[in-house]
Chain A
Amino acid sequence: MNGVITVGMADYKTAKAPEILLTAGLGSCIGICIHDPVLKVGGMAHIMLPSANGSLGGNPAKYADTALELLLKEISGMGANKSRLKAKIAGGAQMFSFPGKPPILKIGDRNAEAVEQELKKRGIPLLVMDVGGSFGRTIHFDVGTGELRIRTINHGEKVV
């Protein structure tokens, strides 16, 4: 498709209207979408874990804190005004549960919490938070309008 930019796992991309950012098959990961509605630019990150703290290093786009930092830097580099930025996030599901066993680490929940906190820390309003559940999500983000389309296999589709 023309004008659709795909964001892979542990990856982030920026775009300008009328481009659409896409990430497919979010499970426990979170898709962070940020845009400047006036300049009509924005970006998306597909983060996998809450924090780079204590990690063995590696790809910074994998973690909520470091990925957001990189994404914001790039969006600012496109001329976006930090005070105008708005965020929407989706993902953070718990895809599997083992009968009789509590999930050891609800990584999806922890991811959602971490992203929420990182956005708050930077004063970026979080307009939509479509997280949790036990199903995957594919998301399309229109950086011009800020529309986020969330598609699932068996739990409907919506635009928020």
Chain B
Amino acid sequence: MEITQLQLDALREIGNIGSGHAATALSILLQRRIDMSVPEVWAVPFEEVSVIVGQLDLPQAVMYVKVEGEAPGKAVFFFSVESAEIVVQALLGTDVPLDLFNDEMAQSALQEVGNILVSSFLIALTQFSGIPLQPSVPALAIDMIGASLEAIFLEEGMLDDTVLFIDTQLSGIPKIEGQFIFLPDKGSLKKLLGAMGL
């Protein structure tokens, strides 16, 4: 489907509202200031995904939630391993170094963060569009970002050559760098835009 400038603006607005809520939730959770970039909407071929995520084999903590409901899609939060550690430390009220790869408690805390962020995003999106959306239980991978994203794109054997997603950067002080992306499934894009009269 061809996307017009007006529709791009609408998608950016979805990103703005949803990510704004997610950033606020993260800020409350961690009791610190979280800034958010202006969301960007990308429709890019698989090959160019590295343009957005940078180096494909850098380790990142990826929280992946399937969005269910009338406009299904995928929501993904990812943090650098260092940022994820800071987030978990803030949550658990500790400054002891954590081994995120093996520490189940830390992993479950991260999943919970994913859950809260995505839920906030979806609540905002539902209020805005009138389309009911629910998150699945979050899944977590701490691994090469390219490997994780590729698995997400391909789930259910996605056939499109292009992936469309809304991308927002989150940053907090000190040293939290994260990124949030939302990928509407094929039919969902139409529904979301339709709900906004586009």
Contacts and interface: CB of A to CB of B under 8 A. Distances in A.
State yes or no: do A and B come from one complex.
yes
Interface magnitude class on chain A = 35 or more
Interface in A80-119: 93-100, 104-105, 107-108
Given A49-B154, A104-B156, A105-B155, A24 B146 contact: yes
Contact of A24 (B64, B101, B136, B144): B144
A83 to B, nearest CB: 32
Interface string A39-76: 00000000011000001101100100000000000000
Q: Is the interface of B mostly helix, strand, loop or mixed?
A: mixed
B49 A9 contact: yes
30 contacts: A8-B47, A9-B46, A9-B49, A9-B146, A9-B150, A10-B46, A10-B161, A25-B146, A25-B150, A26-B146, A26-B147, A27-B148, A27-B150, A27-B154, A28-B151, A56-B160, A59-B45, A59-B46, A62-B46, A62-B161, A95-B141, A96-B152, A96-B155, A99-B137, A107-B155, A107-B157, A134-B141, A135-B143, A135-B147, A153-B59
Interface residues of B, number: 35
Contacts of B141: 95-96, 134
A35 interface: no
Contacts of A62: 46, 161
A49 B157 contact: yes
A11 interface: yes
Interface string B152-167: 1011110111000000
A55 B154 CA distance: 13
Interface hub of B145, B150, B152, B157 (most chain A Cβ within 10 A): B150
A136 interface: yes
